[in-house]
Chain A
Amino acid sequence: MSELRHLINITDLSVDEIDHLISIADDIIDNPEAYQEICRHKKLATLFFEPSTRTRLSFTAAMMELGGNVLGFDQAASSSTAKGESVSDTIVMASCYADIIAMRHPKEGAPFVAARHAGVPVINAGDGGHFHPTQTLTDLMTIHRKKGDLGNLTIGLCGDLKFGRTVHSLIEAMIRYKGIRFVMISPVELDLPSYVQEKLNAEGVEWKVVRNLEEAIPELDVLYMTRVQKERFFNEEDYIRLKDSFILRRRMLDSAKDDMIVMHPLPRVNEISVDVDDDPRAAYFYQALMGKYIRMALILFLLGIR
C-alpha cells in the first residue's frame, strides 16, 4: 500500500502529477460512462467548518458522478466544534466513516492539522485566506482546455492582487511552466504582496504592472478577473473611484485577441458586466464545470484508483 497523500497546497503536487490529473479529467469528459460506477461504495466526507455552497456543491457533484456517496456537515455551528471538539478529533472520527475528506475551515493551517491526524486522504477545500488548491486546479484545467497548453501565455491578473489568494496560488502554479508572462492590473492599494513579487523575480519570470484594464487587454491570452471588495478600502470615495477602472465591459473586448479567455473564480459581484457572458471568450461558467471534472480526477488520484 502506498503512502497516504493529501492536498493542502497546490505545490504538494508536482507538475507531472498535475498533468496526470488533467489527463484523467480529459478522459472523464470523453468517456463519462467509464467512470460512473468507479467509486461505488466509496464515501467522501465534506467537512465544512464554514459555509461555501459553491465548493461543496462541486465536490458533491464530483463524487456522485463517480458513483460514490457523500456525507458531512456544512457549518461548524451545527457540528461538534460548536461543542469545543478539536479539528484533530473531528478528523479522526470522520476517518472512521469516510474514504476521503474534503475540508474547509476559517482558520489557516487547519487542513494541515487534519492531514497529520487523518487515516484517509484530506483535500483542503479552502482555509481562510490561505490556500485553496482545488480552485487552482480548476483554473489550470480551464486554461488547458481552452488554450491547449499551460506554457507560452500572457496572463493578465486583475482586481485585488493583494488579498486574492486565488491569484497567489495561480501564480505559484503557473511559474512552473515555460514562457509565462504576467500583467498585473490593480490599484496601487491592492498591489501584489512583496513576497509574491520577490518570488516572481527570483524565478526570473517576466511581469509588469498596468494601472488600467482596458490598456492591458490587447496583449493578453488569459484575463483572470477577481473581486475588488469594498472592505479593502479605507473610504467609500477611493472604492468608487477605483473600482470602475477594474470592471470588464463588453466593448473592452473589441481590442482583445479573438482567442483570449476571461476567467473568474466566482462569485462575481459587478467586476464583469453581464453583457460579457454571451461573448465566446467568457470562460467563467465553463470554469465551474471544469472544477467538477478536475475534482473527480483528484478524488480518483488520492484514492489510488487512477
Chain B
Amino acid sequence: MNIDGVSTGIVLDHIQAGCGWEIYNLLGLDKVDCTVAIIQRVQSAKYGRKDIIKIDGDVDIDLDILGYFDTKITVNMIKDRELVRKVHLKLPETLTGVLECRNPRCITSVEQEIVHQFWLADPENKKYRCVYCDSVYKEKK
C-alpha cells in the first residue's frame, strides 16, 4: 500500500469506488485542520477499482461509523512514515448519534434532545434496533 505523503496520520484503504466523498463527509473530514486527500478509482489487484483517503495529521476518526458503513475498509495508522497498525473493521455493537429512528411512535420523535442510539441485533443481516422503541433501522431509499 502506498502511504506516500502521510508522515503521521491515517490511510483508509479499500473504500468501495465512488464512496470516498461520502466517507469524507461522514467522518467530518471537512472540519479537520490538516491535509486530506481523496484518491478515486485506484486500480487494485484484489478488488478492481477502489477509493483511498489519506489524512496527514494526528486526528481521531470514528471507527464505529466507518465499520457501520463498510467493514471491508481497512484503516492504516501511520507514524513517522511507518505503518504502525492495521485495523480491520467490524460492525459496531452500538451506534450513538449516527442513525436516526424513524418510528413515529418512538419517544425520540417528540423529544429532540434525546440522542438516537441503536444496538446490533442481528450481525448476519446487519440489523440494528433502536434502544428506545426496538424498531429495526431501515436504510433510506
Contacts and interface: CB of A to CB of B under 8 A. Distances in A.
A and B associate in one complex: yes
B106 A107 contact: yes
A128 B108 CA distance: 13
B133 interface: yes
Given A108-B133, A112-B131, A87 B105 contact: no
Contacts of B130: 109
Contacts of A113: 107, 111, 114, 132
Contacts of B109: 107
A44 B53 CA distance: 57
Interface string A156-174: 0000000000000000000
A249 interface: no
Given A130-B133, A130-B134, A109 B113 contact: no
Contact of B111 (A86, A129, A130): A86
B110 interface: yes
Interface string B118-137: 00000000000011111100
Interface string B90-111: 0000000000000101111111
A128 B113 contact: no
Contacts of A181: none
Interface in A73-121: 86-88, 105-110, 112-113
Contact of A129 (B105, B108, B110, B131): B105
Interface residues of B, number: 16
Contacts of B108: 109
Contacts of B132: 108-110, 112-113
B29 to A, nearest CB: 32
Question: Interface centre among A105, A110, A129, by most B CB within 10 Å?
Answer: A110
Instruction: Give chain B's interface secondary structure class.
Output: loop
Query: Which size class do A's interface residues fall under?
Result: 10 to 19
Contacts of A112: 107, 131-132
B106 A87 contact: no
A113 B115 CA distance: 10
Nearest to A107: B107
A215 B109 CA distance: 44
Nearest to B131: A112
A108 B111 contact: no
A88 B109 CA distance: 15
Contacts of A107: 105-107, 109-110
A110 B105 contact: no
Nearest to A129: B105
Given A113-B132, A127-B107, 11 more contacts: A86-B111, A107-B105, A108-B105, A108-B106, A108-B107, A109-B106, A109-B132, A109-B134, A112-B131, A130-B105, A130-B133
25 contacts: A86-B111, A87-B107, A87-B111, A88-B113, A106-B105, A107-B105, A107-B106, A107-B107, A107-B109, A108-B103, A108-B106, A108-B107, A108-B133, A108-B135, A109-B107, A109-B130, A110-B132, A112-B132, A113-B107, A113-B111, A113-B132, A127-B107, A128-B105, A129-B105, A130-B133
Interface of A: 86-88, 105-110, 112-113, 127-130
A-B pairs, top 4 by smallest CB distance, nearest first, are A109-B132, A108-B133, A107-B107, A109-B107
